[in-house]
Amino acid sequence: MKDIASGESILFAPRLPDEYAVWLGEIKPLSYFKERYMISAVHYTDEITKVLHQQYQGSGKPLLYLLHGLNTDSNNYSKPADFEGIDKFKMDLNTLHPILTECRVTKSELELTLIQFANDISSEAHVEVMRNAKVGMKEYQLESLFLHHTYMYGGCRHCSYTCICATGDNSAVLHYGHAAAPNDKTLQEGDMALLDMGAEYHFYGSDITCSFPVNGTFNRDQSLIYNAVLRAHNAVISSMRPGVGWVNMHKLAEKTILESLNEGGILFGDIDAMIHERLGAIFMPHGLGHLLGIDTHDPGGYLQGAERSKEPGLKALRTTRELLEGMVITVEPGCYFIDALLVPAMENPKTSKYFNIQEINKFRGFGGVRIESDVYVTSSGCVNMTKCPREIQEIEAVMAGAPWPIPKTTIPSANGEI
């Protein structure tokens, strides 16, 4: 709790029973919490009413600003604090939530340090999974390798979310890995793997997706789709800086993927016409990314009064804001072959003309590719906090046993000088 008038911070800790020491360990004195959290004062929760009234120097009931408001990502409302004696206070349920939400939109140096650590250990773990993935393994074994590395070498007891370890056609299921689809398929020859996994460190998350062939070598079709997504990923990151609109970044990713599919013979026709018909949402039905921090999907994506688009793809955006210095946001374009979206589009007279049916039928059952990095917006551009192999030659080299990062080879000049 923060006293606005004095600027003092007060923490209220539960008064624990003696049995706590038997089952859960030493009962820490209040001085422990005061020192650990560097706050002005600590009291017990059963003293809240008395302490706050003593702190208050004015007349009438003290005013409490309580955290209550809509999280525009989850569409849930935060539950305001409640305690015995709260009726002895005036309450404001509207002021605090938008202020604290906006505080979470941009990150401090200490917050960035925690997010970077979570990214570093998660990037390492993704590389470890790449090196050990083999045809015949189970998807949950890839998840297990990731969890072991982040806990063993990073002390990360928890992940930011349930791991998505999708291979083959499962990689077209956007939120695969849930209880009804528990990462239990056997890896098959020719499968692509789409692994969306991120460790959490001291409550701050990471959110990283890598896609690669389980046998370690990209074939022509896998290369085509992977490079389409990689081009979109890189184009967005190259364009990010304060003031850039996130909707425009999403549209850039869509356009880049459509261009690659057109060049690869899967689609044909005018790209601008495809964009007008929202064809990009058939292949990338989710939003480009989301704010990241204490929550995997951090709040603040929509300012008060902002309306969501109703257009395919755009309605899935988790933010429509302009980028601000200090934001951490995921960049996660994808390209998926989802029958539930493809079949209606191929039967629709407005969109069927863009599909090369013979070519696209080759990709039915392919699944999908997603590449996701966590990106910090700087004053003049951005920094990619994720450090995974991304280029096809990098992935194939790492899966063949090469070190990561791959040492840069010194190339001699034409006259033989280094």
State yes or no: pLDDT of 398 exceeds 70: yes
Contacts of 411 (CB under 8 A, 6+ apart): none
Of 375, 177, 174, 207, give the one whose Cα is nearest residue 281.
174
Question: What own/partner pairs with CB < 8 Å and gap ≥ 24 does 220-224 have?
Answer: 221/362, 221/363, 221/366, 222/192, 222/369, 223/392, 224/260, 224/264, 224/266
State yes or no: pLDDT of 415 exceeds 60: no
Model pLDDT for residues 220-247, shown as the tens digit of each residue: 999 999 999 999 999 999 999 999 999 9
Confidence of residue 416 (pLDDT cuts 50, 70, 90): very low
The per-residue pLDDT for 418 is 40
CA of residue 54 relative to chain centroid, distance: 44
- Please give the span between the terminal C-alpha atoms of the chain, in angstroms, as a whole number: 61
CA distances from 284 to 123, 193, 215, 316 (A): 24, 17, 25, 10
The per-residue pLDDT for 58 is 81
CA distances from 9 to 6, 35, 37, 372 (A): 9, 13, 10, 38
Q: Residue holding tokens 């996130």?
A: 246
The answer to whether the CB of 86 falls within 8 A of the CB of 64 is yes
Q: How far apart are CA 309 and CA 317, in angstroms?
A: 8
Model pLDDT for residues 96-138, shown as the tens digit of each residue: 999 999 999 999 999 999 999 999 999 999 999 999 999 999 9
In the chain, what percentage of residues exceed pLDDT 70? Answer: 98
The per-residue pLDDT for 413 is 42
The per-residue pLDDT for 407 is 86
CA distances from 410 to 170, 403, 416, 417, 418 (A): 41, 17, 11, 10, 7
The answer to whether the CB of 176 falls within 8 A of the CB of 286 is no
Model pLDDT for residues 270-283, shown as the tens digit of each residue: 999 999 999 999 99
Q: How far apart are CA 83 and CA 12, in angstroms?
A: 11
Q: How far apart are CA 325 and CA 320, in angstroms?
A: 16
Q: How far apart are CA 372 and CA 233, in angstroms?
A: 8
- Name beta bridge partners: 373: 331
Model pLDDT for residues 254-313, shown as the tens digit of each residue: 999 999 999 999 999 999 999 999 999 999 999 999 999 999 999 999 998 898 999 999
State yes or no: pLDDT of 357 exceeds 90: yes
Residues 379-390, mean pLDDT to the nearest whole number: 98
Neighbour tally for 358: CB within 10 Å: 9
The per-residue pLDDT for 280 is 98
The per-residue pLDDT for 296 is 97
Model pLDDT for residues 315-336, shown as the tens digit of each residue: 999 999 999 999 999 999 999 9
Model pLDDT for residues 178-231, shown as the tens digit of each residue: 999 999 999 999 999 999 999 999 999 999 999 999 999 999 999 999 999 999
The answer to whether the CB of 367 falls within 8 A of the CB of 293 is no
In the chain, what percentage of residues exceed pLDDT 90? Answer: 93
Phi and psi, residue 369, nearest 5°: -130, 135
The per-residue pLDDT for 409 is 64
Specify burial of residue 367 (Cβ count, 10 A radius: 0-12, 13-18, 19+).
buried
Of 97, 262, 273, 129, give the one whose Cα is nearest residue 196.
129
Contacts of 254 (CB under 8 A, 6+ apart): 232, 275, 280, 281, 284, 313
Neighbour tally for 223: CB within 10 Å: 15
pTM for this one? 0.95
| Collapsed DSSP state (helix, strand, coil) of residue 197 | strand
Phi and psi, residue 79, nearest 5°: -90, 125
Which secondary-structure segment (H or E) carries 42?
strand 41-44
